[in-house]
């Protein structure tokens, strides 16, 4: 297969591209800076540029669309432009070029309205109830992508929602946890007892590639559907944070903030950030407070059966790999 991977300069996108290269696929990537993936052919540009996207999809057999604006704050128009507009542009170009397979990489946040998610599957995306512009626009993008699979002989689409992806080199979750813990600025919300799923990055990449393969080998099983992808090993927030901090050699969170107070504070910070945005991510948002204080773990039976996939790296083994990564950085 010839496969286009968008957003391959990010951690998950780069691992997906490497998995495909390593098994002998012809891989093309599309993002604004070099992917750094040996063996892949980079196309420089934005998913919002129709001309660049049209060149990128020409002659490919499948698209894995990961490119997105991922942030806790920012101009809502930017989220709409990249996450919704970019998805529309890539999807339209793929369909026009006759690309048979399209994997939309989404997020479980598209179906999270703030309350706990306990043992559920991939519930329908609901942008009207999603909290935060990232979740809202990813929900809109997923609905747009799945609606494009109209049952005709055109482009088959599946949506995959990896949950809390982490691993060596991760700047979205791991580095922020480590940085804040090292500065003594990482509290637990409530007692840190909320049970959450997470996904080691290699498992997430393998699951995404499995979805692409199933669109080729058994399209009627997966097309038009969404799947949440996790390690299937729920841990408490406190345990997960302690594991990451231990791997990096920084103190685990030792102080607590009531969850309700954190949510209220997050709402205030969001309001201030809209008026006077900082140079980094806000220290707290309501969405982040909800994610750290409510349970969200998922039934993986349909995901594993339909995708023909099981995670190869356990949480404990992933933590060992993370510890080795940090040990190498200090040498």
Catalytic machinery residues: 134
Mapped onto helix, strand or coil, the DSSP state of residue 164 is coil
Beta bridge partners of 188: 256
| Spatial separation of the C-alpha atoms in residues 163 and 53, rounded to whole Å | 27
Residue 253 DSSP one-character state: P
Mapped onto helix, strand or coil, the DSSP state of residue 149 is coil
Q: Which residues contact 73 (CB under 8 A, 6 or more apart)?
A: 270, 273, 274, 277, 281, 282, 285
Contact by Cβ (8 Å): 6, 63: yes
| Spatial separation of the C-alpha atoms in residues 168 and 240, rounded to whole Å | 15
CA atoms within 13 A on the CB side of 266: 23
| Spatial separation of the C-alpha atoms in residues 87 and 6, rounded to whole Å | 10
Helix (H) / strand (E) containing 64: strand 62-65
DSSP 262-288: HHHHHHHHHHHHHHS--SS--S--HHH
């Amino acid at each position: 297969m010839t496969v286009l991977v968008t957003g391959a300069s990010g951690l998950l996108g780069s691992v997906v591209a490497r998995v495909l290269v390593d098994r002998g696929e012809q891989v093309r990537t599309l993002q604004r800076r070099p992917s750094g993936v040996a063996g892949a052919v980079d196309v420089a540009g934005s998913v919002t540029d129709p001309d660049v996207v049209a060149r990128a999809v020409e002659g490919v057999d499948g698209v894995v669309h990961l490119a997105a604006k991922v942030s806790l704050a920012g101009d809502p128009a930017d989220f709409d432009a990249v996450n919704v507009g970019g998805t529309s542009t890539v999807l339209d170009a793929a369909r026009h070029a006759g690309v048979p397979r399209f994997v939309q990489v989404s997020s479980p946040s598209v179906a999270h309205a703030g309350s706990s998610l306990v043992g559920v599957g991939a519930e329908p995306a609901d942008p009207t109830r999603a909290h935060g512009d990232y979740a809202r626009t990813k929900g809109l993008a997923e609905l747009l992508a799945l609606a494009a699979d109209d049952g005709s002989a055109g482009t088959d689409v599946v949506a995959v929602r990896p949950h809390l992806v982490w691993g060596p080199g991760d700047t979205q979750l791991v580095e922020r946890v480590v940085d804040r813990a090292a500065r003594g600025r990482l509290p637990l919300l409530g007692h840190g007892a909320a049970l959450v799923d997470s996904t080691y990055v290699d498992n997430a990449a393998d699951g995404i590639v499995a979805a692409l393969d199933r669109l080729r080998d058994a399209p009627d099983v997966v097309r038009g559907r969404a799947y949440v992808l996790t390690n299937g090993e729920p841990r408490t927030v406190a345990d997960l944070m302690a594991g990451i901090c231990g791997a990096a050699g920084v103190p685990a969170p030792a102080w607590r903030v009531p969850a309700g107070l954190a949510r209220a504070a997050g709402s205030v910070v969001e309001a201030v950030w809209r008026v006077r945005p900082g140079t980094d991510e806000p220290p707290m948002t309501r969405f982040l407070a909800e994610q750290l204080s409510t349970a969200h773990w998922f039934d993986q039976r349909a995901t594993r059966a339909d995708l023909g996939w099981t995670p190869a790296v356990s949480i404990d083994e992933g933590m060992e790999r993370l510890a080795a990564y940090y040990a190498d950085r200090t040498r």
